[in-house]
Amino acid sequence: MSHRLAGEGAIQRERTLAFTFDGRPLTGHPGDTLASALLAAGVRLVGRSFKYHRPRGILTAGSEEPNALVQLRSGARREPNTRATVVELFDGLEARSQNRWPSLALDLGAVNSLLSPLLVAGFYYKTFMWPAAFWEKVYEPAIRRAAGLGRASTEPDPDVYEKAHAFCDLLIVGAGPAGLAAALAAGRAGARVLLCDEDFLPGGRLNGERREIDGQDGAQWARQVGAELAGLPGVRVMTRTTVFGAYDGGTYGALERVADHLPRPTPHQPRQRLWKIVARRTLLAAGALERPIVFGGNDRPGVMLASAVRTYVNRFRVAPGRRTAVFTTCDDGWTTAFDLLDAGVQVPVVVEARQQVSSVILNEASRRGLRIMLGSQVLDARGGRGIRSVDVRDERGRTVRVAADALAVSGGWNPNAALCTHLGGRPRWSEAIHAYVPADMPPGMIAVGASAGELSLAGALRTGTQAGREAAEAAGFAAAAVQCPHADDEAVGGTPLWFVAGCRGKAFVDPQHDVTPGDIALAAREGFDSAELLKRYTTLGMGTDQGKTSALNGHALAAALTGRAPADLGTITSRPPYTPVAIGALAGVHRGPDFRPCRLTPSHRWAQSLGATFLDTGEWRRARAFPRAGEVDWQPTLVREVLGVRNGVGLCDVSTLGKIDVQGADAGAFLDRVYANMISSLPVGKARYGIMLREDGIVLDDGTAARLAPGHFLLSTTTAHAARVLQHLEHARQVLWPQLDVQLASVTEQWAQLAIAGPRARALLERLLAGAIDLSNAAFPYLACAEFAWQGSPARLYRLSFSGELAYELAVPARRGEAAVRAAMAAGESLGVVPYGLEALGTMRIEKGHVAGAELNGTTTAHDLGLGRMMSDRKDYIGRVLASRPGLTAPERPVLIGIRPVAAQARLAAGAHFLRLGARASLANDEGFVSSVTFSPVLGHWIGLGFLSRGRERLGERIRAHNPLAGGDVEVEVTHPVFYDPDGERLRG
Amino acid sequence: MPAQTADHGRGVSAMERDGVGIARIAARRGQAAQVAQRLRAAYGIELPQGPRRASRGPVGIAGIAPQTWLATCEGAGSEFAQSLRQLLADCAAVTDQSDAYVMLRLTGPKVREALAKLVAVDIDPRTFRVGDLAQTVCGYMRVTLWRLEDSGQDGAVFEIWVGRSVARDLRRALAHCAAEFGFEPGRSFLETTAGHMA
C-alpha cells in the first residue's frame, strides 16, 4: 500500500520512474530521492548497522543521514555507502542494502547484538593484544573483513572526471532563504556571485515547509528568485554542488555532481567536476541541522527527525508512517504535527518534554483535536524491523504505551558551521539556542541565517540580504536599496533534552558507528572525557556523516555524566571534506597515461618508427634501446649497440640534458663563483667539464660549459637536475650577486641535440655537414665548440664525449631535430651507424667511470667522486668553505671505486653493500655501497661503480657486495673506476 | 598572419601558430631604458612593465619577468632574434626561442569556459584585460597565457604557449576540456597532433 499523499509538492507525477531495491521493482517520480521513493513504497528497512547489525531505516532527508547507506549501480560503476536521502531518482536505478547476510530482513550478523557487552568502545584496544604474533595473521585480516559497510568496485572506472577553476566576488554556500536573499542583493548590484547548493533544487528548507515569503508560498518564492538569478549576468547558480572545504587564501573546494543523476553521462560529459573556487568574500548560508534525542530504540526504522518528516510530506508528498507520533523539546517540532494532520496523516500524540508551551501552539493543537502530553518523554520506541509503538513517561512518572508506526523527533537545531572550522577556528557556545555558533571565522567568511544561529525565516532573509549588500559594496558595486523579503511569523523557542534517563531498550548516540550511552559512560570512567578524547576512544562522529547528528548529543551526555555543562567539554573542529568526495574527482583527468605530462624528445616519432623501447625518466620519455628482430632480451641489443658505437659510429638523442644560455659582461666571473673549477679562463671556441657544489659542499650537478663568445656561454646539466640548476643559478644571480651583469635563459627546448660517437663519427659528420665546418682534428680538437650555419639555420657543434669514444654533439633548432636525425642516419648508413638509447649510454659511461645520477645522489662530495682536483684554490665559489668540513674530508669516507666480480659470470646488483670477506653482515661492518652496475660488452662481464671506505688505497683487494634485500652475496675485486681507455686516447683522435 | 581560421560555429576553436620568430630579451644591468628606447624607435612599441603584452603590426613584446621580455614577429624565423641581437647588441642579451615554444590561438564563444578547466588564473573579461598576460600552470605544465583583441565573430581570443616537449599533452588536455562545448581544431592543430610530436 502506497504512502504517497495527494497534492502538488516538488515531484512530477505525470512521469513514473522504475527502480529496484534489493532486486525488488518499485516506482517513483522525477523529483524524488531514493529515500522518498522507498518511503512512498512503504519500505522502511534499508540497512544494517556497522557493529551490531541493528535494523536501520531513514533518519533524515539530507546529506547528514547516518543510517540509510546503500549501494548504487552495479559492475564498474558500483558505488557503496551512498546516502539514499541525497540520491536523485532516475529510471533504471539499482540500489542495494549493505552490511547484511544473507538478506536485509534476516541478517545473521545480528548475532553481534548478543555480544554487545563485549563489543563496547575501546574493545579493539584491549582485546586483540595477545598473543602478539596473532595480530598480523589472525586478528587484522578478520577485522579487515568485518570492517566497513559497502564494497567498492574493483573494475576500472568508465567515467571521466574533471577539474575547473572559478573566481568570484561572493561565494554563497547554500541556496536556502538566506543564501537566495544574499545572492539577489549582491547579484542585482552587479557583483560576481557564485551560489552553490548540494541539493538539485534550490530553496533549502523552504522546499520542505509551508511558509510564506512576501505573501507567496516559500518554495514558489525560491523558484522565482532562482529564475531571476539565472538572468543576472554576474551570477552563477550551481546546484548539485557541495562546497566541501575551506582552504587558505579564500580558496574553497567544491564538488559538482554533473551526471550522478543520470544512468550514464552524455558524451563528453564528466561524471563529476571538482571546482577550486577563489572568493573575495564568502557567506556560509548552510542552514542548521536538527538534533535527535537519545532514548531507547531511537535507531529503529520509523524514528525520524521531525523536520525530515515535514520535508517528506510537503516536498515529496510522502507520509513516512500512517500513525506518526511526535516527540519534541522545541516549538519547531509542533509544526510537524500540524503539517501531518493537515495532510491527512494520523498523529496519535505529541510528547513535549517542556512543562509549558506557548498558547499559540496550544490553540493550534486544540483546533486540530491533537492529543498532547506536556512534561513527558519517550522512553522507548518498540518494534523489531520497524517501530510499532512508543512508551512514554508522562509528567507524573507513569508509562503510557501509544501505538505508532513512525516517530518524529526534534531535539533542537545545530547551526551547520562545519566549513568555518576547517581552518582551525573554534565555534562558541550560544546559551540562547543551546548550540555552537560560528566564531573565529576564516578570513573573508561570515555566517548568515541558521548557520549563524539565526533560526527564524525572517532572520535568515534579513541577515542574507544585508550580507549580500555589504559584500557587493566591498567588491566595489553600489548596491541598490534592496527590499528585504518579508516572512510570516514563527516561534523558535525550545529547551534541550539531549537524552532520556531510565530507558530500557538500547539507545544510540551515534547510529552509524553504533556508539551507545554506555560507551560514553565507559569513556568518561576511563578518563577520556574531553570532546577530542571522547571521539577517539568511542569513535563517536568518525563515520561518513562525521557526527552531524550525534556529536553534540554525545558531548552533552558526557558532560552530564561528569557534572559539567555541555560547553565545558570543548568541541571538535571539522576537517574537509564536509561530505565524502570520490577519489576519481580529486584525480580529475590525471589518471593512467595522463597521470603527469610526458616530455617527448625531438626524435621521438622517428625512434617509435624504428621500434625503440622507451623509458620514462623523470619528466621525459626517452628511447631505451633499439632492438632488432631476433634479439630475445636486453643483453644482445646492448652488446650490439655498445660495440656498434665503440667499433663504428652510433647516434643518440641527448636533447633532454639541460641547456642554459649565459650572457653578459660578468658571465665568466659569475660562472667562476658557481662552478668549483675555473670557467673564466676558457677560451672562445672551447668547452670544459665542470662541477657545481651546493652551499653545504655536496656536489649539486656536473656538466659542461662551452664558450661561444667572450660574453656568451652555454652550460649543460644532467637531465634530472636541469630545473634545479637553473633555479640555483637564478638565485645566485638575483639574490646573491645582483650587481653582476649576467643574464640566464633556459634553451633546453630550443635545441635538439644529437650525440654522434665512435671512431667513424668524424666521417659521418663530414658527410652530414658537407663542409659547413672544418672537422679536422687540428681545426676542431677535443673539447672544441662552434656556431655555424647548416642548411639555412643556425647549428652548433661540441666535441664532448660521454661514451669515451671520438664524439660530437650536434645542436639544431628543435623543429629540425627529426630531420637532422634522419639525415644523420642516411649519412651514416654505409658506415654502419647504430642508433642507441639510455641503456647503451649508461653502459658506456660506466665503462669510462663517468659519474651520473646514481653517484651524484646528494650525499657525495667532489673528493668522494674523485673530482677533488677540479676544486680550484684560486677563487671562491659556492660550497668551497663547507666542502672542507672535517666530516666531508675524513679519510675513511667512502670514495669512488670500480668493482668486477671474482667469478667471471657473476651478476652484480646496484645497492649492494660492501663488507670485508668474513665480516658479519651488520651496519657496524658496512664499508660502502654499489651505485651503478652494467654488463660490459667490451670486457665481457659485469662491472660496477661504488663507494668504498678508503677505496683508493685498496685497489686489488677482494671484498663482498652483500645484497640483503634481493638476496645475493658476490665476491668482487676493487678496481680503478675507469675500465676502458684510461688514458683517453680514443677521445682525442 | 594566421593562415587558417577554424570556426564553424563551435564552442571552442584552436589553431597552431607556425612560422613565428620568438626571441627572449633580457636587459643588461642598468640598460633597461636603452632597450626600451631602441625598441620604441624600431617597432613603435612601448616596452611593457609587468605582465602585459604590447604589439604593433607583426611584432609583439610581452613582459615575462623583471627586465625580461619575450618578443615575437609573425612570419619571421630565427632571423628575428638575429636582427634583435644587432639592434640591442650592447644593452640586452637576446636568445632565440623560435623552436622552444608551441603556440595555440584559442577562440570561440565558450573559450573561457574551456580555459577555466585548464588554467588557474582568473580570466574574467574584467580581470584579464586585452594585453594581460599570465604565467601559470595547466595540468602540471608551465604555460604562458595572454589575451588578444576580441575577434568580431568569435569573441575572446587567447594565446597559450607551452614548451615544445609537452605540446602533445597540452593539445590533449585542450581537446578534452573543450569537447563538451564542441571543439574545432584547425587543420594545422590536427596535423601537428598526428605529426611531429605525436
DSSP code of residue A239: S
A324 belongs to a structural domain: yes
DSSP characters for A942-986? EEEEEEEETGGG-TT-EEEEE-TTT--EEEEEEE-S--S-TT-TG
Last residue of a domain, one of A719, A746, A773: A746
Domain region containing A901: 891-988
- pLDDT tens per residue across span A102-126: 788 887 777 777 777 777 777 666 6
Note whether A807 and A898 are same-domain residues. Answer: no
Chain B: residue nearest A587 by CA? B139
Residue A101: the pLDDT is: 73
Alpha-carbon separation of residue A643 from A803, A843, B28 (angstroms): 11, 11, 48
Note whether A371 and A396 are same-domain residues. Answer: yes
Note whether A54 and A106 are same-domain residues. Answer: yes
Name the minimum distance, in Å, from the CA of A791 to any CA of chain B.
Answer: 13
Helix (H, G, I), strand (E, B) or coil at A459: helix
Note whether A772 and A632 are same-domain residues. Answer: yes
Last residue of a domain, one of A746, A773, A800: A746
Residue A167 to residue B127, Cβ atoms within 8 A: yes
Note whether A344 and A393 are same-domain residues. Answer: yes
Residue B78 to residue A192, Cβ atoms within 8 A: no
Number of folded domains that form chain A: 7
In 3D space, the residue among A421, A452, A441, A428 whose CA is nearest the CA of residue A566 turns out to be A428
A858 belongs to a structural domain: no
A408, A333 in Cβ contact below 8 A?
yes
* CATH number of domain containing A963: 2.40.30.110
Q: Is the pLDDT of residue B197 over 50?
A: no
**Mean of the per-residue pLDDT values of chain A:** 94
A297, A52 in Cβ contact below 8 A?
no
Give the count of beta carbons closer than 10 Å to the beta carbon of residue B36.
Answer: 19
DSSP characters for A498-522? -B-TT--S-B-SBTTTTB-HHHHHH
A976 belongs to a structural domain: yes
* CATH number of domain containing A764: 3.30.1360.120
Chain B: residue nearest A712 by CA? B93
C-alpha grid cell, residue A337: 504535527
Note whether A819 and A939 are same-domain residues. Answer: no
Omega prior to A577 cis, within 30 of 0: yes
Name the minimum distance, in Å, from the CA of A301 to any CA of chain B.
Answer: 44
Name the minimum distance, in Å, from the CA of B169 to any CA of chain A.
Answer: 6
Residue A488: the pLDDT is: 80
A496 belongs to a structural domain: no
Note whether A424 and A513 are same-domain residues. Answer: no
A580 belongs to a structural domain: no
Residue A865: the pLDDT is: 97
Distance of CA A712 to the CA centre of its chain: 45
- pLDDT tens per residue across span A368-413: 999 999 999 999 999 988 999 999 999 999 999 999 999 999 999 9
A165 touches chain B (CB under 8 A): yes
- pLDDT tens per residue across span B10-35: 899 999 998 899 999 999 999 999 99
Distance, in Å, from the CA atom of A789 to the CA atom of A772, rounded to the nearest integer, reads 7
Note whether A151 and A205 are same-domain residues. Answer: no
Note whether A544 and A623 are same-domain residues. Answer: no
Residue A149: the pLDDT is: 76
Indicate the helix (H) or strand (E) that contains A312.
helix A306-314
A952, A939 in Cβ contact below 8 A?
no
Last residue of a domain, one of A808, A829, A845: A845
Instruction: Give the 3-state DSSP-derived string for A394-423, with helices as H, strands as E and coil as C.
Output: CCCCCEEEEECCEEEEECCEEECCHHHHCC
Residue B139 — very low, low, confident or very high, per pLDDT cuts 50/70/90? confident
Of B117, B179, B195, the CB nearest to A164: B117
A582 belongs to a structural domain: no
Note whether A265 and A365 are same-domain residues. Answer: no
A749 touches chain B (CB under 8 A): yes
Q: Is the pLDDT of residue B2 over 70?
A: no
A403 belongs to a structural domain: yes
Note whether A42 and A146 are same-domain residues. Answer: yes
A554, A509 in Cβ contact below 8 A?
yes
Residue A125: the pLDDT is: 63
Helix (H, G, I), strand (E, B) or coil at A528: coil
Give the residues of chain A that fall short of pLDDT 50. none
* CATH number of domain containing A274: 3.50.50.60
Chain B: residue nearest A251 by CA? B120
Residue B117 to residue A661, Cβ atoms within 8 A: no
Of B93, B165, B179, the CB nearest to A664: B93
Residue A604: the pLDDT is: 97
A577 belongs to a structural domain: no
Residue B189: the pLDDT is: 67
Note whether A667 and A767 are same-domain residues. Answer: no
